[in-house]
């Protein structure tokens, strides 16, 4: 099944959205709750499955919904269809936290494996499924557990990641090591595993954790500068007072806390 051909525009800088343009009859699928706004003539329905397998019966869709539950996502996906006859219409999607929207032409990439909450939306016909980490160490210490999402198709798909996104194209045998939470996704051909940091001092006092993700080419890797888990930890520390106070760089920070009652 060929994917629908949709046009798009990325809006914003640090808190990006993607506006997808639909011709009459075209459909875009998205995670439940990702829609920001839509124009006239666009209708939406919540369905079990991405609709890529037109021959799948009720039980096939039910199995697909069960797999999505394993990733922590909603069992339903929302399908947005242009019901009009002539004029193009637009629907916009945004993720629930600040970051970058990554447009991917799946016809150039083939298959893509990504973290389970990275998928935002895609052209109808894109297959959104799950894949399991076969290595026990990668599953336990990889930051994303045993379950990752997998995208397949030949149309446009859009991921969301925290902070700034960097893409690296790895040659055959070329290796890249990164913090496990900073990995967004990687294309087919990339070998993904988790390796323990060498040296007890570096492991316990280096501040980078005990494990690093190791990816070996050939293929492409997408990385994020600010994983949501890291952002959430800092917010919780700040709210609870466990993270201390940086005083905005002022030597009077402690005195200021006494004055304003903190």
- Quote the pLDDT of residue 201: 55
Domain membership of residue 210 (yes or no) is no
Q: Which ranges in 110-251 belong to alpha helices (H)? A: 136-141, 200-205, 228-240
Q: What is the pLDDT of residues 213-256, one digit of tens each?
A: 899 999 999 999 988 777 777 778 777 765 555 444 444 455 44
Domain membership of residue 207 (yes or no) is no
Q: Which domain holds residue 149?
A: 7-163
Domain membership of residue 261 (yes or no) is no
262 or 80, greater pLDDT: 80
Confidence check: pLDDT of 184 > 90: yes
Q: What is the pLDDT of residues 12-37, one digit of tens each?
A: 987 899 999 999 999 999 988 899 99
- Quote the pLDDT of residue 2: 85
- Quote the pLDDT of residue 255: 44
- Quote the pLDDT of residue 241: 64
Confidence check: pLDDT of 104 > 90: yes
Tokens 């902070």, located at residue: 163
- Quote the pLDDT of residue 4: 93
Number of domains composing the chain: 1
Confidence check: pLDDT of 260 > 80: no
Domain membership of residue 183 (yes or no) is no
Is the pTM value of this prediction over 0.85? no
Fill in the DSSP letter of residue 141: H
**pLDDT over 90 percentage in the chain:** 45
CATH number reported for the structural domain that contains residue 63 in this entry: 3.60.160.10
Domain membership of residue 224 (yes or no) is no
User: What average pLDDT does the structure give for the chain?
Assistant: 80
**pLDDT over 70 percentage in the chain:** 71
Cα 171–Cα 175–Cα 176 angle in degrees, nearest 5: 110
Domain membership of residue 60 (yes or no) is yes
Confidence at 167, pLDDT banded by 50, 70, 90: very high
Least confident piece of the model among 88-102, 201-215, 236-250: 236-250
Task: Kindly write down the DSSP assignment for every residue of 99-117, as one continuous string.
Answer: BEEEEEEHHHH--EEE-TT
Domain membership of residue 232 (yes or no) is no
Cα 3–Cα 27–Cα 41 angle in degrees, nearest 5: 155
Cα 99–Cα 105–Cα 109 angle in degrees, nearest 5: 105
| Torsional class of 41: left (φ above 0), alpha (ψ -120 to 50), beta (otherwise) | left
Confidence check: pLDDT of 178 > 60: yes
Sheet containing 165-170: give its strands across.
127-132, 147-152, 112-114, 183-187, 219-224, 165-170
Domain membership of residue 44 (yes or no) is yes
- Quote the pLDDT of residue 249: 46
Q: What is the pLDDT of residues 40-88, one digit of tens each?
A: 999 999 987 787 765 555 555 566 556 656 656 667 889 999 999 889 9
């Amino acid at each position: 099944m060929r994917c629908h051909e949709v046009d798009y525009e990325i809006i914003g800088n640090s808190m990006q959205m993607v506006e997808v343009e639909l011709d009459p009859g075209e459909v875009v699928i998205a995670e439940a709750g990702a829609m920001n706004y839509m124009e006239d003539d666009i209708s939406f329905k919540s369905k079990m499955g991405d609709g890529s397998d037109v021959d799948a019966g009720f039980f096939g869709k039910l199995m697909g919904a069960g797999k999505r539950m394993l990733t922590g996502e909603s069992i339903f996906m929302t399908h947005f269809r242009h019901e009009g006859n002539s004029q193009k219409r637009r629907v916009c999607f945004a993720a629930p936290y600040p970051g970058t929207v990554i447009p991917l032409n799946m016809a150039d990439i083939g298959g893509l494996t990504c973290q389970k909450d990275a998928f935002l939306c895609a052209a109808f016909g894109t297959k959104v499924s799950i894949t399991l980490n076969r290595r026990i160490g990668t599953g336990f210490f990889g930051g994303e557990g045993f379950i990752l999402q997998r995208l397949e198709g030949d149309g446009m798909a859009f991921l969301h990641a925290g902070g700034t996104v960097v893409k690296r194209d790895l040659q055959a045998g070329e290796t890249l090591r990164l913090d496990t939470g900073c990995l967004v996704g990687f294309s087919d051909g990339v070998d993904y595993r988790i390796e323990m940091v060498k040296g007890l001092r570096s492991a316990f006092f280096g501040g980078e954790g005990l494990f690093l993700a190791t990816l070996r080419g050939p293929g492409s890797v997408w990385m994020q500068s600010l994983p949501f888990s890291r952002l959430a930890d800092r917010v919780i520390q700040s709210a609870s007072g466990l993270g201390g106070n940086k005083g905005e760089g002022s030597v009077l920070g402690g005195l200021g806390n006494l004055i304003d009652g903190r």
